[in-house]
């Protein structure tokens, strides 16, 4: 059995992502009066795989990396979720991220369960060839448990379309035929979908616009601060800038840039691409990541990693809307403090679901062998994100709960219904 936690996570365990997920799950399940058998079943992952991945490094020595794949739930379809390369990967983190994928797919009502993968490694210290060998061997070791009908990986932190292309190729070599639908987030032309790269950022724009309308905040000129300038942070900052929001703050892992009059986001992103750091960008103030989160704005959009808003800084956050681009950026203890201060939270499992939504479109297109243009992809994405936001908002109002609890309740309700109808093979 996995550790049981009370509704309240003690402060010493505040930053354990799995306990953060479980405490929210338990809270929502209690409000739903969830059947105890379903509660026990849905709370646990279906399968956890640890692989030890040998890689021949460029200097000739063999290094063994630790990798994980956690498949949380298959009730509504194949498991779906990214693969993360980072020295900070832990099994508890991958477990939490896998469960969040189950709830995320259910919130936006797409026919997937949840999974996540990770390898403990520092990709900034590895050559491209070493990364390719690591990716191929990890994929080969997971061959029996992934696949279009079983579990479909995608990019996450420090993984990209090149890594997805290597995963797809390795899987296809073992299967003896090309299987494009085994991963999503591939290059367009290799079975990737138009619009996938910007999908999470675009989805964040749509839900931020819906929140502004709901809260009567004029989006034109509304101040936005984005933490993280990778796929999610960079793209959401760009789309929000292009849509009339005023992006006043943006950071990478090292530092943040701030200008109350607004940042020229496209120029900053070009600078980042060229210099691989935001350091030295002219005409703006440099702040730390901690300071950036506490600067006043209308919308704060953390898009880097977990545990950025905690009980230690939640009372110093000055925004009207917290729009979660990253997975798990806010701890459960911080949730309560933000709610008491009236901050409107668009939770990760709703806010950043644009990525998995277009991954679903990619999987559908690969299986049909027929590809849509970017306009169609973006229209269908907008429809799903706006409908999902409105559905969660209605649920929150009906049940008199905040948006995170409403999202969990809606997702758990859907997974529980399908599990009950299928029956638990016990
Ligand atoms: P990425 O690797 O492209 O970018 C991460 C960014 O965060 C980089 O700018 C990096 O410098 C910064 N960063 C990393 N650690 C940091 C730290 N400790 N403090 C401050 N900044 C830090 O990753 P990504 O794909 O943009 O993912 C970011 C987050 O969004 C993750 O939580 C991921 O799980 C989540 N997410 C990603 C997708 C997707 O489609 N890529 C979809 C949904 C959710």
Per-residue pLDDT tens over the stretch 218-259: 999 999 999 999 999 999 999 999 999 999 999 999 999 999
What's the domain range around 232?
Answer: 199-351
Is 107 found in the same domain as 60?
Answer: yes
Rounded to the nearest whole angstrom, what is the distance from the C-alpha of residue 348 to the centroid of ligand 1? 13
Atom of ligand 1 nearest to the CA of 327: 32
11-15, 171-175, 311-315, 365-369: range with lowest mean pLDDT: 11-15
Residue 351 has pLDDT above 50, yes or no: yes
> Domain ends where: 129, 145, 177?
177
Rounded to the nearest whole angstrom, what is the distance from the C-alpha of residue 306 to the centroid of ligand 1? 9
The answer to whether the CB of 159 is under 6 A from ligand 1 is no
Helix, strand, coil percent content, the chain, rounded in steps of 5 = 45, 15, 35
Is 60 found in the same domain as 108?
Answer: yes
Is 173 found in the same domain as 203?
Answer: no
Residue 153 lies in a domain: yes
| Residue 326 confidence class, pLDDT cut points 50, 70, 90 | very high
List residues with catalytic annotation.
116
Residue carrying the six token digits 């979720």: 81
Q: For residues 176-185, give the mean pLDDT.
A: 98
CA 330/CA 349 separation, integer angstroms: 12
The answer to whether the CB of 155 is under 6 A from ligand 1 is yes
CATH number assigned to the domain comprising residue 157 = 3.40.50.10860
Q: What is the pTM of this model?
A: 0.96
| Residue 387 confidence class, pLDDT cut points 50, 70, 90 | very high
Q: What's the total number of domains in the chain?
A: 2
Q: 134 with 126: CB under 8 angstroms?
A: yes
The answer to whether the CB of 197 is under 6 A from ligand 1 is no
7-11, 102-106, 159-163, 289-293: range with lowest mean pLDDT: 7-11
CA 357/CA 280 separation, integer angstroms: 37
Is 164 found in the same domain as 124?
Answer: yes
The answer to whether the CB of 252 is under 6 A from ligand 1 is yes
CA 321/CA 331 separation, integer angstroms: 16
CATH number assigned to the domain comprising residue 243 = 3.40.50.720
Return phi, psi of residue 170, to 5°.
-65, -45
Using alpha carbons, list the distances in angstroms from residue 191 to 156, 186, 187, 194: 18, 6, 7, 10
Which of 237, 240, 246, 294 lies closest to 271 in space, CA to CA? 237
The answer to whether the CB of 307 is under 6 A from ligand 1 is no
Rounded to the nearest whole angstrom, what is the distance from the C-alpha of residue 231 to the centroid of ligand 1? 7
Which of 299, 241, 286, 283 lies closest to 265 in space, CA to CA? 241
| Residue 69 confidence class, pLDDT cut points 50, 70, 90 | very high
9-18, 37-46, 73-82, 355-364: range with lowest mean pLDDT: 9-18
Rounded to the nearest whole angstrom, what is the distance from the C-alpha of residue 232 to the centroid of ligand 1? 6
Is 169 found in the same domain as 204?
Answer: no
Atom of ligand 1 nearest to the CA of 359: 40
């Amino acid at each position: 059995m996995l550790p049981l936690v009370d509704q309240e996570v003690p402060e010493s365990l505040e930053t354990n992502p799995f306990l953060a997920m479980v405490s929210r799950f338990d809270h929502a399940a209690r409000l739903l009066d969830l059947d105890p058998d379903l509660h026990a079943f849905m709370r646990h992952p279906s399968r956890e795989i640890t692989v030890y991945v040998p890689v021949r490094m460029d200097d000739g020595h063999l290094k063994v990396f630790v990798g994980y794949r956690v498949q949380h739930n298959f009730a509504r379809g194949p498991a779906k979720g990214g693969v993360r390369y980072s020295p900070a990967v832990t099994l508890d983190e991958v477990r939490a991220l896998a469960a969040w994928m189950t709830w995320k797919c259910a919130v936006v009502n797409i026919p997937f369960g949840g999974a996540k993968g990770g390898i403990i490694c520092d990709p900034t210290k590895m050559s491209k060839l070493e990364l390719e060998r690591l990716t191929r061997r990890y994929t080969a070791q997971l061959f029996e448990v992934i696949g279009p009908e079983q579990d479909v990986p995608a990019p996450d932190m420090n993984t990209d379309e090149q890594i997805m292309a290597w995963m797809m190729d390795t899987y296809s070599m073992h299967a003896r035929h090309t299987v494009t639908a085994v991963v999503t987030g591939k290059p367009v032309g290799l079975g990737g979908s138009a619009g996938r790269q910007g999908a999470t950022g675009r989805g964040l724009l749509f839900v931020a616009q819906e929140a502004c309308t709901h809260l009567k905040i004029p989006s034109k000129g509304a101040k936005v601060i984005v933490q993280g300038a990778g796929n999610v942070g960079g793209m959401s900052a760009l789309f929000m800038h292009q849509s009339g929001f005023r992006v006043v703050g943006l950071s990478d892992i090292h530092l943040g840039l701030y200008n109350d009059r607004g940042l020229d986001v496209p120029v900053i992103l070009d600078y980042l691409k060229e210099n691989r750091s935001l350091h030295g960008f002219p005409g703006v103030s440099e702040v730390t990541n901690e300071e950036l989160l506490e600067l006043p704005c209308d919308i704060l959009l953390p898009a880097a990693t977990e545990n950025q808003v905690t009980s230690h800084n939640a009372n110093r956050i000055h925004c009207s809307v917290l729009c979660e681009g990253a997975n798990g950026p806010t701890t459960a203890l911080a949730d309560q403090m933000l709610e008491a201060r009236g901050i409107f939270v668009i939770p990760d499992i709703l806010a950043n679901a644009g990525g998995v939504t277009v991954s679903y479109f990619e999987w559908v297109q690969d299986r049909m062998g027929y590809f849509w243009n970017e306009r169609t992809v973006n229209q269908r994405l907008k429809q799903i994100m706006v409908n999902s936001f409105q559905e969660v908002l209605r649920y929150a109002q009906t049940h008199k709960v905040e948006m995170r609890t409403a999202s969990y309740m809606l997702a758990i309700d859907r997974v529980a219904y399908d599990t009950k109808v299928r029956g638990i093979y016990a």
